[in-house]
Structure 1
Amino acid sequence: MMPRNAVYLCLLLPLALLALARPAAAQPASAVSQCQAIAEALPNVMFARYSPGPSTPPVRIAATQEGTVRLTLLGHSTFHIETPGGISIATDYSGYHRPPRTPDVVTMNKAHSTHYTLTPGPEIKTVLHGWGEEGQPADHDVVVGDAYIRNVTTDIRSGYGAMEPDGNSIFIFEVAGLCIGHLGHLHHELDDSDYAEIGRLDVLMVPVDGGLTMGAASMVRVVERLRSAIILPMHRPGPQVARFLDLFGPGFDRRFADSPSITVSLNSLPSKPQIVVLQGM
């Protein structure tokens, strides 16, 4: 069997040859996700096939490029993602955990005020809400520099045990040939249609609080189904990280990093899933 990285490179080559140059500013993209294309080619992974309608604009494919992506845990569920092309992205941005420079893109979820702000500042050019407006689910499909960003919505708990449809978004960042996913404030296990829309994730940022989002056993099942190469715990109060790690069997490696940052490239992905606990809270 070919190594994971060799399979990815073979699958990404035709996408790269068909790619269009990315603009520097955020622009809508009718794109074929390379993460879904990879999932289609790998065994035992469901894929939501792209079916353009009669008025669908020409398909654009997010270009593949080599390089490393740097991810830094700023705190809670806010990560700073730095792309090879110099694009700065902050996830679950509330304005409290700030990256060292003004981000080009921020993503948000509204389950709690620690995951969003309605006043991010005019200096941030691309603000992506994980919740819908006027009764419509959030639907993001944009290119910013060398990053292609899309979302898959999930429901969140509301008052008196009810669920609010599409109140959370799993944001997916496709850059440097990598598929990077942030689960946001996930409140329920995913179904087959969710996994199909997500496709393959090489790097997964996962909340491990064990209750504020959802129970640890349920979250572990999501992680096992996605089977990402690198898993980064977040949203991790108290001793929850140790409890989370204990729920995984020998099919997953564990590593405690000596800093809040990790650099990742397509060629550096481990062949066995690895849970990396970054420094920080």
Structure 2
Amino acid sequence: MLLRYLAYTLAAIWLVHAFWPERAHAQQSRAPVSQCQAIAQATPAATFVGFTAPPALPAAAMEGEVSITFLGHSTFLIETPGGISIATDYNGWFRTALPPTVVTMNRAHSSHYTLTPDPAIRHVLHGWGENGEPADHDLVVGDAYIRNVPTDIRSGFGGMEPNGNSIFIFEVAGLCIGHLGHLHYELDDSHYRAIGRLDVLMVPVDGGLTMGAESMSRVVSRLRSALILPMHRRGPIVNDFLAMFGDDYDKSYATGDSVKVSLRSLPKKPLIYVLQGV
């Protein structure tokens, strides 16, 4: 009789652990895992090493081609293989045929954000936080995973505003795409560790409104992205930026305002690619 009672008790415990509803809930609420984060030594010459982690997105979402179109100033339209559209540093000036699924913003200047976005936009991600806290985004939309790394910006009269800018990172089709926003200060080792690998980098080039060409070139060199897309200003300032890079980089002016990129088509040698309109 005692043995039968113990058997029933053990069976009941097993059933509770096997089918307890909290288990399923916990799995669903687990934060997504970045495929672009990296382990790096805390030195300027560090080489990022990818690590194996459970995928945040289905395997099918790790394939395909991403379209990137320069709309103007710091706004790019990123279109994923799964039909998600993302507009960076969205200010409402540069319109698309359909409202983007997601927009990101930074508030260093009015040309980088709007407080009255199109209500049809499903997700509006501010690069600044509320009540002095940094912005913290971990969003999966369709086949895209979007996260941010906060940075400080300059404020009036020589001051500094903590966490007023965000570097937004878009993980799509196995690619790591980063937009530096309105970056005012060179990044430190903690930023580089939080960013991880960036295959495509959107970098402000303006001769000093964000950072000077020399400072920005050091950031670009440290990130070692395969495809580098200048933004923010045009003309001779872009040429000054290109002149900061030697033969280790290819440089090219596009004949259009768009580029299609996949893991397979990434250039083997880093390419600074100036889209039409920049």
Give the direction of change, closer, same or farther, for the CA distance of 1:150–1:78 in structure 2 (3 Å limit): same
Cα deviation for residue 46 of structure 1 reads 5.5
Find the counterpart in structure 2 of residue 61 from structure 1: 56
> Structure 1 residues 175, 106: CA separation in 2 closer, same or farther (over 3 Å shift)?
same
Matches within 5 A, 1:68-217: 68-217=65-214
Indicate if the aligned counterparts of 1:47 and 1:196 stay in contact, CA closer than 8 A: no
SS at match of 1:35: coil
Q: How far, CA to CA, are the matches of 2:55 and 2:66 in structure 1?
A: 23
Cα RMSD for the two superposed structures: 2.2
8 Å contact kept, 1:94–1:115: yes
Match of 2:244 in 1: 247
The residue that corresponds to 2:36 in the other structure is 35
Identity fraction in percent: 69
Deviation at 1:48, TM superposition (A): 11
3-state SS in 1 of match to 2:260? strand
1-structure distance, mates of 2:224, 2:172: 19
Q: Alpha carbons of 1:180 and 1:28: their partners in 2 closer, same or farther (altered >3 Å)?
A: farther
* Count of aligned pairs: 245
Structure 1 position 47, deviation (Å): 7.6
| C-alpha displacement of 1:45 | 3.2
Distance 2:211 2:126 in 1: 21
Residue in structure 1 matched with residue 7 of structure 2 by the alignment: none
The alignment's TM-score, normalised by the length of structure 1, stands at 0.82
Higher radius of gyration, 1 or 2: 2
Alignment partners' CA distance in 2, 1:176 and 1:87: 12
Q: Deviations over 1:59-112 (max 9, x none)?
A: 872334210000000000000000000001000000001222210000000000
- For 2:276, the aligned partner's letter is Q
Cα distance in 1 between the residues matched to 2:31 and 2:125: 17
Structure 1 alignment gaps of length 5 or more: 1-26, 50-58
Which residue does 1:56 correspond to in 2?
A: none
Distance 1:28 1:176 in 2: 23
TM-score by length of 2: 0.83
Q: Tell me, yes or no, if the aligned pair for 2:176 and 2:197 is still in contact at 8 Å.
A: yes
Q: Which runs of 5+ in 2 are unaligned?
A: 1-27
Paired position in structure 2 for 1:257? 254
Alignment of 1:261-276 (within 5 A): 261-276=258-273
Shift of 1:29: 6.4
